[in-house]
């Protein structure tokens, strides 16, 4: 027992390898959490959500498409549909599955919780946006309607989730879908992103990696069947049409958007004066509010005063006070040189 | 009724039409209105001198060449003044409270009032002595450190430190202001935890609170200096002993800063990933500090506040310390039972049962760890001629006598090194734990802040002990 080498080996296993195997991202703990089987209630609620989504998109919903969406066998799907029919939440016209009024209310309730939770994660926590959807998928089956009301009140009764999807009101429908797919724009069009579809995961991950968010304005440079090139907040982005189909936009008048507006604050030289033209939509929640409260609003004059020994952060004079910002923030604040 | 519903429906429709940018627009128009009013009614009488002076100071204290050296110089001066300046008043208070008043009180309660020996023991040797010890060791350094620190803060310099250091802390996922709470922690961790209020971003504030314990506080400096002098200084030739042992203490303190950044980094990537993170740092204009007000508020708000909390926790701990040394089961005190049971385990970590017990019962303040260790060692080794009896803490003026007691207790260089490490890496004192709970309002984060350093301490001590044995 007192051989140091043996003890070092035991220590490494006990203190380093075991905790890693249990608690890391790919560890036992996480695997167990992810492998938990869905309950019947969750299947039913997910099915209702999908049927609602089909109706919203104006597509037909069949047992096959439902089974595909829920990732279950057709046999299993038939059991769930039978249960839904028994609960009087859906009815069938030939092969098509349609929601009854009760079914629609139920589906809207789930969607409301899902989107409120995504909004909550976006505004009140620092959880990465790639995890929002996954966490909301779990939470939508857990929160009660009253808890959802409380959550909505805390968030200031928001109308849109962070992807730009409208959040249903407590007993209401949701407003009709806004916008057109980005693929329908032609060269030279100006538009504002109103919605980014969060499914499927792979496409959404790609879109967030490009830092695209609802509320951003863009200009089409070149749109063809191979690729779409557009300029968004001063950056040129290239996407294939498959990806662009998941972005909805509304066209805006030419005059509202000038490309020169999107000069990041971080390009300012020492002692140079500029005017704030806006804050990027990718800054949200508490951080956005803080910047606005400090005076980073359209039209404020700003001077770069000095940098810290390593060049980051940088002190700016705005509204007669000195505020230090990190580069990751001054990259997301846009100015107009004067 | 129908009208009401129509109205609500119309309002809802409008809400969807106005959209999400409402907050931006409202703030924008408030600012526009405000600057409009200001431009009409405020006259600027060319008060640019102040700006220019500020700008000149800022150019120097944040410059690439001078920023960091100036900061190190100022902070080192503050620490040096604290450590040097508190020696005399600490000795003075101790001579009154511990050396003069303690025997007087013991005689008064035991002989004049004729109370039983155990009553005198619990009340005077336990509760009173622990309190007296905490006051005499804690009060002078805090009464020097806090006002000095508050003066720098008042002058406007500390935000520039946060500005200069932010780059390093950003890489660790933390806020530059954590440099300030960390420095404050070198005075007292409880005060450092309270100071984390200056960080307005939730994630970074939690990081600052949880990692504050890695700043070597006032209560631990004397332990480090003593043990380093005895065990590390002895390894070097006499003319180098002073420098080597001081270097070892500074190394432990720097190690603490390293652990603080490392833990901040890993926590921000794991358990704290979900907390909101924002950054903003205002650099207020410089102004001459209000000397007397600063002195008053820092003494009342910080020094006495922290001291009071420490005393409240020290009194019951003093009772416990005395009782463990005096309640006997089968002719052997509880303390000795524990020490005998813990020794075989403690050896894996290069520590011993006395150290483990001392860190458990002296949880209210790191200041009383060494007196408790000495008392327990004397008790366990049955060295008759030193100390004041079972359960009575004591300290010796002479380093060589202290060294003799510890060596008699079976301490080696490894024990010394590991005690220094364990003194840096163990749970915060109960005053700090309570303060963390008060500040975060969360049992979970309090538990995290308490357990992580303790686990780290055991793991580090374990590996150091094994490698030491392997190589020696």
The ipTM value here is: 0.81
Is the Cβ of A175 closer than 8 Å to some Cβ of chain B?
A: yes
The answer, yes or no, to whether residue B250 has pLDDT greater than 70, is: yes
Helix (H, G, I), strand (E, B) or coil at A32: helix
User: CA neighbours within 13 Å on the CB side: how many for B105?
Assistant: 19
Q: How far is B64 from chain A (nearest CA, A)?
A: 4
- In tens, the pLDDT along B263-313 reads 999 998 888 887 777 888 999 888 888 888 888 888 887 788 888 888 888
The CATH number of A32-99 is: 1.10.10.10
Q: How far is A75 from chain B (nearest CA, A)?
A: 39
Contacts of B278 in chain A (CB under 8 A): 286-287, 290
Tokens of B204: 């970074």
Of A286 and B414, more confident? B414
CB contact under 8 A, A297 and B31: yes
Is the Cβ of A29 closer than 8 Å to some Cβ of chain B?
A: no
Contacts of A25 in chain B (CB under 8 A): none
Q: How far is B7 from chain A (nearest CA, A)?
A: 15
Contacts of B176 in chain A (CB under 8 A): 313
The answer, yes or no, to whether residue A244 has pLDDT greater than 90, is: no
Q: Which of B15, B32, B203 sits opposite A126 (nearest CB)?
A: B203
CB contact under 8 A, B282 and A324: yes
Work out the end-to-end distance of chain B between its first and last CA atoms, rounded to an integer number of angstroms. Answer: 90
Contacts of B268 in chain A (CB under 8 A): none
The answer, yes or no, to whether residue B427 has pLDDT greater than 70, is: yes
Indicate which of A126, A215, A326 best probes the interface with B, i.e. most B CBs within 10 Å of its own CB: A126
Q: How far is B170 from chain A (nearest CA, A)?
A: 9
Residue with tokens 């006495």: B304
Tokens of A26: 């790919």
Name beta bridge partners: B283.
A322
Contacts of B273 in chain A (CB under 8 A): 126-128
- In tens, the pLDDT along A272-297 reads 899 988 888 788 778 888 888 888 88
Three-state SS for chain B is CHHHHHHHHHHHHHHHHHCCCHHHHHHHHHHHHHHHHHHHHCCCCCCCHHHHHHHHHHHHHCCCCCHHHHHHHHHHHHHHHHHHHHHHHHHHHHHHHHHHHHHHHHHHHHHHCCCCHHHHHHHHHHHHHHHHHHHHHHHHHHHHHHHHHHHHHHHCCHHHHHHHHHHHHHHCCCCCCHHHHHHHHHHCHHHHHHHHHHCCCHHHHHHHHHHHHHCCCCCCHHHHHHHHHHHHHHHCCHHHHHHHHHHHHHHHHHHHHHHHHHHHHHHHHCCCCCCCCCCCEEECCCCCCCHHHHHHHHHHHHHHHHHHHHHHHHHHHHHHHHHHHHCEECCEEHHHHHHHHHHHHHHHHCCCHHHHHHHHHCCCCHHHHHHHHHHHHHHHHCCCCCCCCCCCCCCCCCHHHHHHHHHHCCCCHHHHHHHHHHHHCCCCCHHHHHHHHHHHCCHHHHHHHHHHHHHHHHHHHHHHHHHHHHHC
CB contact under 8 A, A313 and B176: yes
Which residues make up the CATH 1.10.10.10 domain(s) of chain A?
Answer: 32-99, 112-175
CB contact under 8 A, B167 and A289: no
Q: How far is B137 from chain A (nearest CA, A)?
A: 37
* pLDDT (mean) for A123-137: 82
The pLDDT confidence band at residue B394, using thresholds 50, 70 and 90, is: confident
Backbone φ/ψ region at A88: left (φ over 0), alpha (ψ -120 to 50), beta: left
- Residue/partner pairs of B225-230 with CB below 8 Å, 24 or more apart: B225/B249, B226/B370, B226/B399, B226/B402, B227/B416, B227/B419, B227/B420, B227/B423, B228/B416, B228/B420, B229/B399, B230/B399, B230/B402, B230/B403, B230/B406, B230/B416
Q: How far is B392 from chain A (nearest CA, A)?
A: 35
Q: Which of B67, B276, B348 sits opposite A125 (nearest CB)?
A: B276
| pLDDT at res. B276 | 77
The Cβ of residue B345 has, within 10 Å, a number of other Cβ atoms equal to 12
The CATH number of A180-257 is: 2.30.30.90
* pLDDT (mean) for B317-339: 87
Name residues whose C-beta falls within 8 Å of residue A235's C-beta, 6 or more positions apart in sequence: A211
Which residues make up the CATH 2.30.30.90 domain(s) of chain A?
Answer: 180-257, 261-337
Segment 261-300 of chain A within 8 Å of chain B by CB? 279, 285-287, 289-295, 297-300
Q: Which of B15, B28, B163 sits opposite A308 (nearest CB)?
A: B163
- Evaluate whether the domain defined by A261-337 bears CATH number 2.30.30.90: yes
Tokens of B131: 């309190």
| pLDDT at res. A38 | 64
- In tens, the pLDDT along B214-246 reads 999 888 988 998 999 999 988 888 888 888 888
The pLDDT confidence band at residue B11, using thresholds 50, 70 and 90, is: confident
CB contact under 8 A, A312 and B166: yes
Helix (H, G, I), strand (E, B) or coil at A69: helix
The Cβ of residue A120 has, within 10 Å, a number of other Cβ atoms equal to 23
| pLDDT at res. B387 | 65
CB contact under 8 A, A299 and B55: no
Cα–Cα–Cα angle for A338, A215, A278, nearest 5°? 20
| pLDDT at res. A194 | 84
Q: How far is A77 from chain B (nearest CA, A)?
A: 36
| pLDDT at res. A1 | 56
Tokens of B328: 């006997």
pTM comes to: 0.83
Q: Which of B59, B273, B276 sits opposite A285 (nearest CB)?
A: B276
| pLDDT at res. A42 | 83
Lowest-confidence segment of A79-88, B50-59, B174-183, B422-431 by average pLDDT: B50-59
Q: How far is B370 from chain A (nearest CA, A)?
A: 29
Class in CATH terms, A112-175: mainly alpha
Closest to B214 in 3D by CA, of B240, B243, B185? B185
* pLDDT (mean) for B41-47: 72
| pLDDT at res. A117 | 92
| pLDDT at res. B383 | 65
Name beta bridge partners: A278.
A334
CB contact under 8 A, A326 and B27: no
Contact A66, A50 (CB under 8 A): yes
The pLDDT confidence band at residue B138, using thresholds 50, 70 and 90, is: confident
Segment 203-242 of chain A within 8 Å of chain B by CB? 215
Segment 146-165 of chain A within 8 Å of chain B by CB? 158-160
Tokens of A113: 């919780």
Q: How far is B25 from chain A (nearest CA, A)?
A: 9
Of all residues in chain A, the percent with pLDDT exceeding 70 is 93
The pLDDT confidence band at residue B19, using thresholds 50, 70 and 90, is: low
Contact B324, B335 (CB under 8 A): yes
The answer, yes or no, to whether residue A258 has pLDDT greater than 60, is: no
Contacts of B19 in chain A (CB under 8 A): 159-160
CB contact under 8 A, A309 and B200: no
The pLDDT confidence band at residue B26, using thresholds 50, 70 and 90, is: confident
Mean pLDDT of chain A: 83
Residue with tokens 């332990």: B223
Contact B215, B260 (CB under 8 A): yes
What kind and span of H or E run contains A248? strand A247-251
| pLDDT at res. B120 | 86
CB contact under 8 A, A326 and B166: yes
CB contact under 8 A, B278 and A312: no
Closest to A226 in 3D by CA, of A242, A212, A211, A210? A242
Separation CA B366–CA B138 (nearest Å): 10
CB contact under 8 A, B200 and A290: yes
Is the Cβ of A324 closer than 8 Å to some Cβ of chain B?
A: yes
- Residue/partner pairs of B157-160 with CB below 8 Å, 24 or more apart: B157/B61, B157/B74, B157/B286, B159/B281, B159/B282, B159/B283, B159/B284, B160/B58, B160/B61, B160/B62, B160/B67, B160/B283
Contacts of A324 in chain B (CB under 8 A): 163, 166, 280-283
Contacts of A327 in chain B (CB under 8 A): none
């Amino acid at each position: 027992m007192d051989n140091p080498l043996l003890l070092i080996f035991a220590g490494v296993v006990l203190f380093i390898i075991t905790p890693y195997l249990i608690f890391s991202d790919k560890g036992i703990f996480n695997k167990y959490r992810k492998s938990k089987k869905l309950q019947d209630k969750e299947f039913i609620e997910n099915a209702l959500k999908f049927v609602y989504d089909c109706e919203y998109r104006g597509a037909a919903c069949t047992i096959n498409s439902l089974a595909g969406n829920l990732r279950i066998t057709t046999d299993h799907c038939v059991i769930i549909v039978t249960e839904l029919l028994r609960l009087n939440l859906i009815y069938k016209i030939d092969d098509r599955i349609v929601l009854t009024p009760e079914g629609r209310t139920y589906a809207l309730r789930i969607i409301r919780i899902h989107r409120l939770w995504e909004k909550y994660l976006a505004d009140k926590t620092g959880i990465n946006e790639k995890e929002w959807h996954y966490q909301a998928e779990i939470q939508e089956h857990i929160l009660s309607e009253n808890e959802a009301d409380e959550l909505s009140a805390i968030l200031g009764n928001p109308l849109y989730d962070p992807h730009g999807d409208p959040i249903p009101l407590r007993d209401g429908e949701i407003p009709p879908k806004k916008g057109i797919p980005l693929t329908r724009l032609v060269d030279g069009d100006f538009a504002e992103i109103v919605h980014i579809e969060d499914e499927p995961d792979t496409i959404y991950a790609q879109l967030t990696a490009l830092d695209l968010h609802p509320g951003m304005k863009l200009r089409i440079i070149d749109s063809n069947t191979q690729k779409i090139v557009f300029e968004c907040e001063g950056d040129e982005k290239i996407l294939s049409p498959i990806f662009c189909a998941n972005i909805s936009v509304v066209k805006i008048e030419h005059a509202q958007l000038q490309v020169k507006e999107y000069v990041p604050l971080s390009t300012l030289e020492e002692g140079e004066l500029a005017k704030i033209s806006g804050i990027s939509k990718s800054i949200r929640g508490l951080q956005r509010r803080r910047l606005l409260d400090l005076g980073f609003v359209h039209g404020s004059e700003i001077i770069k005063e000095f940098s810290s020994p390593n060049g980051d952060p940088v002190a700016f004079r705005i509204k007669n006070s000195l505020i230090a910002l990190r580069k990751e923030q001054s990259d997301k604040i846009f100015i107009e040189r004067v | 009724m129908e009208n009401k519903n129509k109205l609500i429906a119309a309002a809802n429709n409008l809400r969807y039409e106005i959209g999400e940018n409402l907050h931006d627009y409202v703030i924008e128009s408030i600012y526009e209105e405000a600057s409009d009013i200001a431009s009409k009614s405020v006259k600027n009488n060319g008060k640019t001198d102040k700006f220019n002076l500020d700008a000149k100071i800022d150019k120097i204290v944040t410059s690439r060449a001078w920023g960091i050296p100036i900061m190190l110089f100022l902070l080192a001066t503050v620490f040096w003044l604290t450590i040097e300046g508190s020696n005399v008043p600490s000795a003075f208070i101790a001579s009154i409270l511990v050396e003069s008043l303690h025997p007087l009180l013991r005689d008064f309660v035991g002989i004049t009032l004729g109370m039983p020996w155990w009553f005198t023991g619990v009340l005077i040797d336990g509760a009173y002595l622990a309190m007296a010890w905490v006051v005499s060791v804690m009060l002078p350094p805090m009464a020097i450190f806090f006002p000095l620190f508050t003066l720098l803060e008042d002058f406007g310099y500390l935000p520039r430190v946060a500005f200069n250091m932010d780059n390093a802390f950003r890489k660790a996922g933390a806020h530059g202001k954590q440099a300030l709470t960390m420095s404050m922690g070198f005075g007292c961790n409880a005060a450092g935890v309270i100071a984390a209020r200056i960080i307005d971003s939730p994630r970074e504030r939690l990081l600052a609170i949880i990692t504050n314990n890695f700043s070597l506080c006032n209560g631990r400096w004397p332990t480090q200096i003593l043990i380093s002098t005895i065990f590390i200084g002895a390894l070097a030739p006499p003319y180098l002993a002073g420098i080597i042992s001081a270097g070892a203490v500074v190394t432990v303190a720097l190690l603490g800063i390293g652990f603080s950044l490392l833990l901040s980094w890993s926590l921000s990537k794991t358990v704290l990933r979900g907390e909101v993170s924002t950054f903003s740092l205002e650099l207020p204009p410089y102004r001459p500090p209000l000397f007397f007000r600063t002195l008053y508020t820092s003494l009342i708000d910080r020094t006495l506040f922290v001291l009071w909390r420490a005393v409240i926790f020290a009194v019951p701990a003093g009772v416990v310390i005395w009782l463990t040394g005096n309640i006997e089961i089968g002719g052997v005190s509880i303390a000795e039972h524990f020490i005998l049971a813990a020794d075989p385990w403690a050896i894996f970590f290069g520590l011993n049962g006395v150290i483990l017990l001392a860190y458990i019962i002296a949880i209210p303040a790191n200041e009383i760890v060494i007196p408790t260790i000495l008392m327990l060692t004397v008790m366990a080794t049955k060295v008759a001629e030193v100390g004041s009896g079972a359960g009575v803490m004591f300290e010796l003026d002479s380093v060589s006598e202290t060294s003799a007691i510890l060596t008699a207790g079976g301490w080696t260089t490894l024990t010394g090194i590991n005690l220094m490490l364990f003194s840096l890496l163990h749970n915060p004192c109960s005053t700090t734990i309570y303060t963390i709970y008060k500040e975060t309002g969360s049992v979970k984060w309090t538990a995290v802040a308490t357990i992580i350093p303790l686990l780290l301490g055991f793991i580090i001590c374990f590996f150091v002990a094994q490698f030491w044995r392997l190589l020696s």
